[in-house]
């Protein structure tokens, strides 16, 4: 922690540093231990989470094994539980959110980092971050009352008429509560995460790289495509993965708009369910103990997914390096 010490002072500084290193006072040792204890608490919580979820799921794992992942029936009264419907729903809703959110967020980030004048940037940037501050319960409620009817009345018919051949856009159902609407709500939650992280990344691209591209007679888009995007690609990928983690784990907002369907359907306009939403839905009034264990099993799958995406994001981010060698 010496910092750039001036030459005449350096010997004194070194002496003091040595003294600090060897003769650490009692007070220092206590504080250090206190801080480490705090860190230990955090580590303990992590392990305890794993322990509780695993042990809570244990009876369900014992009863259903890995078949749990492919069984579609979820009937508490008949002791039949399977996660397939939820896995499908989690996959579909997250996919929808990613497909819309990633290009949208990158475009927003490019606007904020490179195109917007400074005065506009300082207003729009925080506004985009505000989107992330909306509590999920409010967003879910809004989705239920406002978005779902709108999707049902306008978006579903349009998509069915134009892209209905794809199979994923079936005829509109009775309400707008569906995997598709849930995906849209997740998009709203995920965009601010990816956009603000990507904006920060785009701002770190060294100015002289951009100038070098401009001096070669390149248009603004060519500078972005040739220099800015390639040099930030792994950071943006990490940001996307973090957004995906958010989408996978969202329970309340999805619960409000997904319609809590119990079957796997091809059309995304049908109701469905996700891992997180099912947990939130069932945990309020469980019928028997096995159901609670099955819920813990779902939580275990979700925990594994959450940790995996997080670790994946970290490995991508570590490879990311915009700094140059000279």
> Within positions 293 to 312, which residues make up the interface with other proteins, using CB under 8 A?
295-296, 299, 302-303, 306-307, 309-311
Lay out the site mask for other proteins across 104-123 (x = CB under 8 A, - = otherwise): x--xx-xxx--xx-x-----
Dihedral, 122, 212, 239, 269 alpha carbons, nearest 10: 90
Minimum CB separation of residue 94 from other proteins in Å reads: 12
Minimum CB separation of residue 285 from other proteins in Å reads: 10
Q: Does 153 bind other proteins (CB under 8 A)?
A: no
Q: Does 276 bind other proteins (CB under 8 A)?
A: yes
Residues 38-57 within binding reach of other proteins (CB under 8 A):
38-39, 41-43, 45-46, 48-49, 52-53, 55-56
Q: Does 320 bind other proteins (CB under 8 A)?
A: no
Q: Does 70 bind other proteins (CB under 8 A)?
A: no
**Phi, psi of 30, rounded to the nearest 5 degrees:** -65, -45
Beta bridge partners of 75: 80
Q: How far apart are CA 220 and CA 213, in angstroms?
A: 9
Q: Which is nearer to other proteins, 238 or 265 (CB)?
A: 238
Q: Which is nearer to other proteins, 92 or 300 (CB)?
A: 300
Within 111-215, residue ranges assigned H as helices are: 118-133, 136-142, 148-150, 156-163, 179-203, 207-214
Give me the helix-helix angle, 289-319 and 26-64, nearest 10°: 130
Among 70, 137, 166, 287, contact with other proteins (rule: CB under 8 A): 137
Supply the DSSP symbol for 215: T
Other C-beta atoms within 10 Å of 206: how many? 13
């Amino acid at each position: 922690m010496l910092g750039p010490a001036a030459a005449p002072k350096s010997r004194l500084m070194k002496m003091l540093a040595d003294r600090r290193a060897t003769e650490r006072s009692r007070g220092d040792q206590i504080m250090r231990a206190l801080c480490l204890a705090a860190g230990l608490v955090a580590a303990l919580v992590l392990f305890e989470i794993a322990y509780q979820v695993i042990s809570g799921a244990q009876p369900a794992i014992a009863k259903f094994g890995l078949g749990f992942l492919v069984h579609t029936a979820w009937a508490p009264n008949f002791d039949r539980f399977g996660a397939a419907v939820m896995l499908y729903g989690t996959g579909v809703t997250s996919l929808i959110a990613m497909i819309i959110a990633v290009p949208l967020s990158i475009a927003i980030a490019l606007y904020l980092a490179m195109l917007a004048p400074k005065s506009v940037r300082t207003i729009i940037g925080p506004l985009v971050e505000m989107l992330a501050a909306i509590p999920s319960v409010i967003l879910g409620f809004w989705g239920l009352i406002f978005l779902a009817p709108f999707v049902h009345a306008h978006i579903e018919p349009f998509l069915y008429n134009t892209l209905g051949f794809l199979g994923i856009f079936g005829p509109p159902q009775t309400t707008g509560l569906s995997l598709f609407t849930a995906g849209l709500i997740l998009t709203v939650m995920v965009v601010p995460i990816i956009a603000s992280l990507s904006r920060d990344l785009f701002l770190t691209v060294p100015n002289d790289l951009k100038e070098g591209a401009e001096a070669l007679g390149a248009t603004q888009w060519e500078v972005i495509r040739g220099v800015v995007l390639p040099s930030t690609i792994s950071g943006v990928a990490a940001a996307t993965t973090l957004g995906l983690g958010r989408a996978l784990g969202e329970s309340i907002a999805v619960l409000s708009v997904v319609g809590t369907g119990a079957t796997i359907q091809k059309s995304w306009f049908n109701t469905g369910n996700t891992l997180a939403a099912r947990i939130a839905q069932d945990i309020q009034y469980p019928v028997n103990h096995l159901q609670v264990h099955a819920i813990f099993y779902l939580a275990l799958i979700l925990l594994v997914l959450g940790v995996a995406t997080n670790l994946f994001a970290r490995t991508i981010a570590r490879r990311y390096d915009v700094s140059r060698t000279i």
